């Protein structure tokens, strides 16, 4: 059985400030680095066979915390980057709502096409799912940890599972440094084994943007 851990990166100043990151290369803050170390301690116990990460710093540095514990070298894949948010990137969600209300309403409603050069959910799901599939193929029958981003993780996992958009909206956003666990036995395909797993932190969940 192949196991895949899809791990959201640690906290950043833009997460904390409700600012849309998308593919802007924002680093972890002190909280995020602490989260990565604490989560890595849990994940190392699972004895992963390989680590793959988005090449954006917040995901790469999260993966590095696990690599430091396991001795594995991290592989990087651009397909695991966060959703591209186009004209929204760098704005707070409140600013988006005020300046681009029609687009914001479509995003809040979970529409596939938002506008403002924001990547569609279908395109996001396909590219991330392709990256996840290739990561899993690195060690068939093993455990691979993939460090990625909130919206990317949710949509990529949903695409692997064949879920419609309406079902994806029933999933709560991943907390920083929490993960999804998937398994595949070659007969039934990918199955969801765990969601929003990680070190419990009693604080509001930052938006996956």
Binding-site members are 8-15, 58
Q: Are 191 and 2 in contact (CB under 8 A)?
A: no
- The pair phi, psi for residue 181, each rounded to 5°, is -115, 130
Residues contributing to the annotated binding site for substrate: 8-15, 58
Q: Is 95 a catalytic residue?
A: no
With tokens 């917040």, the residue in question is 58
Q: Is 38 a catalytic residue?
A: no
Q: Are 147 and 53 in contact (CB under 8 A)?
A: yes
Among 78, 82, 119, 187, the active-site one is 82
Q: CB neighbours of 116 closer than 8 A, spacing ≥ 6?
A: 85, 86, 87, 88, 100, 103
Q: Residues 151-169, buried b or exposed e (16+ Cβ, 10 A)?
A: bbbbbbbbbbeebeeeebe
Active-site residue numbers? 9, 82
């Amino acid at each position: 059985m192949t196991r895949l851990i899809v791990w959201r990166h640690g906290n950043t100043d833009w997460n904390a400030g409700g600012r849309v990151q998308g593919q802007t290369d924002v680093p972890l803050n002190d909280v995020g680095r602490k989260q990565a170390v604490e989560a890595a301690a849990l994940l190392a116990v699972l004895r992963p066979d390989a680590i793959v990460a988005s090449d954006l710093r917040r995901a790469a540095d999260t993966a590095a915390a696990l690599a430091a514990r396991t001795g594995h070298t991290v592989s990087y894949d651009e397909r695991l980057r966060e959703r591209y948010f186009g004209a929204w990137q760098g704005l707070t969600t409140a600013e988006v709502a005020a300046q681009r209300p029609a687009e914001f309403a479509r995003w809040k409603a979970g529409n596939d096409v938002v506008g403002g050069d924001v990547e569609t959910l279908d395109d996001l799901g396909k590219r991330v799912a392709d990256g996840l599939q290739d990561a899993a193929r690195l060690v068939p029958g093993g455990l691979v940890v993939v460090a990625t981003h909130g919206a990317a993780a949710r949509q990529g996992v949903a695409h692997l599972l064949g879920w419609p958009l309406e079902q994806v909206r029933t999933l709560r956003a991943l907390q920083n440094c929490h993960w999804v666990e998937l398994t595949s036995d070659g007969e039934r395909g990918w199955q969801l084994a765990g969601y929003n797993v990680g070190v419990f932190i009693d604080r509001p969940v930052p938006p996956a943007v």
